[in-house]
Amino acid sequence: MTDGPTYGFDTLQIHAGARPDPATGARQTPIYQSTAFVFRDAEHAAALFNLQEVGYIYSRLTNPTVAVLQERIATLEGGVGAVCCSSGHAAQLMALFPLMAPGLNVVVSTRLYGGTVTQFSQTIKRFGWEATFVDFDDLDAVKAAIDDNTRAIFCEAIANPGGYITDLDAISAIADAAEIPLIVDNTSATPYLCRPIEHGATLVVHSTTKYLTGNGTVTGGCVVDSGKFDWSANDKFPSLSAPEPAYHGLKFHETFGPLAFTFHGIAIGLRDLGMTMNPQAAHYTLMGTETLSLRMDRHVENAVKIAQWLEKDDRVDYVTYAGLKSSPYFDRVKTICPRGAGGLFTFAVKGGYDACVKLVNALEIFSHVANLGDARSLIIHSASTTHRQLTAEQQRAAGAAPEVVRVSIGIEDADDLIADLDQALSKAVS
């Protein structure tokens, strides 16, 4: 799309980044299933490798299909650029990689996907990095956790599994005061429900596997760069502000300005970590984004109806959906996620762990899978699966207690989903 009119979200989710194929006129973005791309001449090749010209070299770094998806997601999020990669976990490492070094730390929310908690509490230690976990509803605790070695703050806009809404405005103010970036995982919300950059986020990460693709077919991740952070304001981020030996002393922030993080993600991150998104995955996700707003509206509509029904059911102890008036996060939805609280939440089943297992086994429409954000309704018992590696204390802090199941409400008929839950609950607590 060309510069000119300001287009609405529904238009951008279909057209942003995409143009008819110049060789064939194909209207849908082709799958450029090619490892490498021919250079015009030796001078062109040298310019690409020296970061003096933008283009395609090798699909580990850049690919035309993936490039369209990067531009589309960046546009929808209101960022200046984006780097797509192989998974949501890859995106998290890609986001941290230019910021961290041995001995440095990141302050993270206790309310995170279980795999992220494990990645931050265990795996990043192998790089010499540390993570400090804090309840992000306690703003004083967040401030207190930041020290001279902190290089980022990390949270989820709508936290998985409980559907809690993070006060991004308050957290971003803390990050600004500390002169460190705020990284927000926007997987559960998508840019249709929440735009973290408008609330002060520096970087936005996604598991594109989830709502952006929406059909449970491919894995992928993305890091979106706001372009608003001053990487040269101090000496905390030498990867972006200091000379880079691999490029003859080039300084990324000085050279690329607002796009410094994006170029570093490709030229260093993808080059050396190799966590590449394949073009077919990008193609599936591009097709998914075309219906994002339609699907998210239905996800929210169904989630509200089902959460309200569950809250009134005597077989259920509580429901965590932020779209309920009883939720402590209900008022926050209006400012952070004005189009709705998403389709993800948990509910506690009377009878505890055993009742949850019976419930999962008795459902017929809901699929028992380790995924979310599908057009299909999904359920999982987090304590025995996605959050199994965590301690009981960590499970409860993350909203994945033993008596809780997580549901990702799909776009089926809501009454059918309620009927399925009704019959399964009867078997679970009988």
Q: What is the CATH number of the domain that holds 387?
A: 3.90.1150.10
For the stretch 353-386, pLDDT in tens is 999 999 999 999 999 999 999 999 999 998 888 7
Residues 278 and 415 in one domain: no
- Does a structural domain hold residue 3? no
Asked whether residue 152 carries a pLDDT value surpassing 70, the answer given is yes
- Does a structural domain hold residue 22? yes
Confidence of residue 393 (pLDDT cuts 50, 70, 90): confident
Mean pLDDT of the chain: 95
- Give the mean pLDDT of 390-398: 80
- Does a structural domain hold residue 418? yes
Q: What is the pLDDT of residue 391?
A: 82
CA distance 199 to 195: 7
Q: What is the pLDDT of residue 388?
A: 76
- Does a structural domain hold residue 125? no
Print the domain residue range for 389.
292-429
- Does a structural domain hold residue 298? yes
- Give the mean pLDDT of 300-318: 98
- CATH number for 46: 3.40.640.10
Asked whether residue 1 carries a pLDDT value surpassing 70, the answer given is no
Examine the fold and report which residue of 257, 288, 319 is the final residue of a domain before the chain moves on. Answer: 288
Q: What is the pLDDT of residue 384?
A: 84
Residues 321 and 364 in one domain: yes
Q: What is the pLDDT of residue 413?
A: 98
In 3-state terms, what secondary structure has residue 316? strand
For the stretch 230-264, pLDDT in tens is 999 999 999 999 999 999 999 999 999 999 999 99
Residues 309 and 281 in one domain: no
Residues 333 and 422 in one domain: yes
- Does a structural domain hold residue 135? no
Q: What is the pLDDT of residue 307?
A: 98
Q: With contact defined as beta carbons under 8 Å apart, do 284 and 213 qualify?
A: yes
Residues 225 and 90 in one domain: yes
- Give the mean pLDDT of 279-285: 98
Residues 334 and 237 in one domain: no
Q: At what angle do helices 114-121 and 88-96 cross, to 10 degrees?
A: 40
For the stretch 45-55, pLDDT in tens is 999 999 999 99
Helix/strand/coil percentages in the chain, nearest 5: 40, 15, 45
Q: With contact defined as beta carbons under 8 Å apart, do 206 and 89 qualify?
A: no
- How many structural domains does the chain have? 2
Residues 304 and 408 in one domain: yes
Write phi, then psi, for 339 (nearest 5 degrees): -90, 5
Amino acid letter, residue 37: F
- Does a structural domain hold residue 411? yes
Q: What is the pLDDT of residue 398?
A: 74
Strand 150-156 with 344-349, pairing: unpaired
Residue keyed to tokens 């035309």 = 64
Residues 42 and 19 in one domain: yes
- Does a structural domain hold residue 109? no
